[in-house]
Structure 1
Amino acid sequence: MPLKAIADDLAQSRRRFVQRIHRMRSIGLGLGMLCVGSGLYPTQPAPALWALLAFNGLVWPHLAYWLARRSDNPSRTEFRNLTLDSAMGGVWIALMQFNLLPSALLAVMLTMDKLSVGGSKFASRALLWMMGSCLIVSALNGFAFSPHTSQFAILGSLPLLIAYPLSIGIAT
């Protein structure tokens, strides 16, 4: 097989990887926005936090895709984007004041998707980013802790709990 064909094959494989991650990120962060929103609501967040949540759930998936597609190394850029996804998960867990169900669900789903993409080594590294960002934001938020989960937060978590694992299963 000529070198050009091998290079084209590799480029095609990287594009498919970026496209697959884009689909999964769009589903996960879109449904995650409902989960986080339902856990964030009782904390009476400032409008800027609602705007950040909307950006993270609706805009970031497409911006991450755009960055990866235009990168010299799309796979490396995508792994960096996935790490940022985990770090933002830590931010949301802290801002939800550790609301039990949405926080646990977010941590598990973000770790599961890293396992499915990059194995245990990558998942461990992303989990460290999640825990680090959670610790920093929690400290900035006065270590606020309110683990009670309302019926509203349970209902807001169900779409992510049901649809995202099914999507991961179909994709893998």
Structure 2
Amino acid sequence: MTLAREDIEFIKAHLGEWLTEQSFAKPPAVYEIELRERMVRVEEELRHQRELIQTILVQMDKRFDAVDKRFEQMQLNMDKRFEAIDKRFETVDKRFEQMQLNMDHRFDAVDKRFEQMQLNMDKRFEAVDKRFEAVDKRFEAMDKRFEELTRRLDRFMFWSFGLTVSVGALVVAAIRLWP
């Protein structure tokens, strides 16, 4: 429910009376003075509150400025630390690259050693192969000698057997012919 303009004016006109009617112990003039004193005190208190709020706002601004400075300082410190970490990572990267190069050189050296060892082993195996070839030739010569010896023994046995059979036949013929 909204109040009409007439109602608002009526309330304004009679508000003072109604308030004084409520205060039976005090006459309206005293009450009015008391109200004025209260209003003065309220205004003074409001002024004091405004001053306090302004001081608080100024202090808050100072504190916010200090916090902003701290954040800026922290940001600068963090940036410096991150730059230091970046530099450390760069040095670590350089060390890893150097280590990689050293390892590559070492592996190359090991590869060369293995190649050299392989060449040496190949030469030794070739020398051993040559020795085995010489030994094979000796064994072949020995085989030829044994074959020749076997052939000679075979002839000797054949001749010995033939001679024995011939002598046996002559002995048998001589015993038969001998009366």
Bin the TM-score by the shorter chain: under 0.3
Q: Output the TM-score relative to the length of structure 1.
A: 0.20
Larger radius of gyration: 2
Structure number with the bigger relative contact order (C-alpha 8 A, sep ≥ 6) is 1
Q: Output the TM-score relative to the length of structure 2.
A: 0.20
Higher fraction of helix: 2
